[in-house]
């Protein structure tokens, strides 16, 4: 446990001396805020219109109209941005040969990987926490329903775990950070899009494809619905990513 803590501390330190994280945070928050602003404006206009027709639709609530679409948009931005947080983790260690220091120390491969995963996770949680200024800001003007919002954020946290684990796996495959980033884009976009090209409805294949599709699972959570199937999906994907990364790192000994 102390070993993992040592790795986490080191990775955090390296994250915060590198400019990447600041650029990533600035871009992420800028786009998120803009999308939130656009969504809010749209909602304001739409609700004014609704008022005129005197027909208050039940789904015109703050969560469904503003937070759910904003958070879904956020997840797409995260899909493009989180690989930038993970690309460095193993590729850089291999390129600068510092991996040799880690691998000749009494650390297990799991400890190394968990340390890196948790460090990236902390950075991601900080990013997410920074977006909380949106609902908090809005709560001064309107009534925010915190429970479904909490479920939505839980969804983003779980999704982040999967993104980071897959990114770690991609980073384990190469010495080149750009290759690592592009690989994790590929993997994540693959999981994102797999639902879009589903085979014939009702077939067994369609079911499997639908289960693999990330957006459907995220959609439930973002709407405020915590379904164990979705939680299990993200937990499983995270475990798979970490397991694959473990296999890749461990296999270097046998080259």
Partner 1 sequence: MFVPIDPLKTDKNLYLLLTAALARLADAKTGVIENRRFIRYDSGDTIPRLFQPMISVQHLSKHYGDYGETTAIDDVTFTVERGEVLAFLGPNGAGKTTTMRILAGLIAPTSGSATVAGYDVLTHPMEVKRRIGYLPDNPPLYTEMTVDEYLTFAGKIRGLRGRAVTLARDAVLEKCALGDVRGRLIANLSRGYRQRVGLAQAMIHSPDVLILDEPTVGLDPKQIIDIRELVKSLAGEQTIILSTHILPEATAVCQRVVIINRGRIVAVDSRERLSMQLRQSEKLAVRVRRGEGVDLGLIYKIEGVTQITPQEMASGSDGAVREWMIESEMGADIREAVASTIVQQGWGLLEMRPVVASLEEVFLQLTTQAQGVETAYAAGESV
CB proximity list for 185: less than 8 A, separation 6 or greater: 79, 80, 83
Q: Which two tokens stand for residue 71?
A: 């958070």
195-233 in b/e form (b: 16+ CB < 10 A) is beebeeeeeeeeeebeebbbbebbbbbbbbeeeeebbeb
For partner 1, the closer CB: 22 or 211: 22
For partner 1, the closer CB: 9 or 239: 9
Please pick, from the candidates 99, 123, 151, 152, the single residue that binds partner 1 as defined by CB under 8 A: 99
Task: For residue 31, count CB atoms less than 10 angstroms from its CB and return exposed for 0-12, middle for 13-18, buried for 19 or more.
Answer: middle
**Quick one: how far is CA 147 from the chain centroid?**
20
Please pick, from the candidates 34, 50, 100, 199, the single residue that binds partner 1 as defined by CB under 8 A: 100
Residues numbered 21-40 forming contacts with partner 1, rule: CB under 8 A: none
- Per CB under 8 A, 65 contacts partner 1: no
The nearest distance, CB 23 to partner 1, in angstroms, is 16
Interface with partner 1 by CB under 8 A: which range of 6-14, 59-67, 131-139, 190-198? 6-14
- Per CB under 8 A, 14 contacts partner 1: yes
Residues found near partner 1 in the complex (CB under 8 A): 2-3, 6-7, 9-10, 13-14, 17-18, 96-108, 252-255
């Amino acid at each position: 446990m102390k070993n993992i803590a040592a790795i986490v501390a080191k990775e955090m330190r390296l994250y915060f001396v590198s400019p990447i994280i600041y650029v990533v945070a600035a871009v992420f928050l800028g786009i998120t805020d803009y999308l939130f602003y656009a969504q809010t404006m749209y909602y304001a206009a739409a609700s004014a219109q609704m008022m005129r027709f005197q027909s208050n639709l039940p789904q015109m609530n703050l969560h469904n109209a503003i937070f759910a679409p904003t958070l879904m948009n956020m997840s797409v931005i995260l899909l493009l941005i989180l690989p930038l947080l993970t690309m460095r983790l193993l590729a850089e260690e291999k390129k600068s040969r510092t991996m040799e220091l880690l691998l000749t120390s009494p650390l297990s491969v799991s400890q190394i990987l968990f340390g890196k995963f948790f460090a990236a996770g902390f950075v991601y949680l900080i990013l997410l926490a920074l977006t909380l200024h949106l609902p908090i800001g809005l709560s001064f003007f309107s009534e925010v329903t915190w429970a479904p919002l909490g479920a939505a954020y839980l969804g983003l946290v779980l999704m982040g775990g999967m993104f980071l684990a897959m990114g770690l796996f991609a980073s384990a495959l190469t010495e080149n950070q750009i290759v690592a980033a592009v690989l994790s884009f590929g993997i994540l976009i693959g999981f994102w899009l797999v639902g879009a090209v589903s085979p014939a409805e009702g077939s067994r294949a369609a079911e499997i494809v639908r289960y693999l599709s990330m957006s459907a699972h995220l959609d439930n959570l973002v709407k405020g619905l915590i379904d164990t199937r979705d939680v299990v999906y993200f937990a499983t994907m995270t475990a798979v990513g970490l397991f694959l990364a473990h296999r890749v790192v461990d296999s270097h000994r046998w080259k």
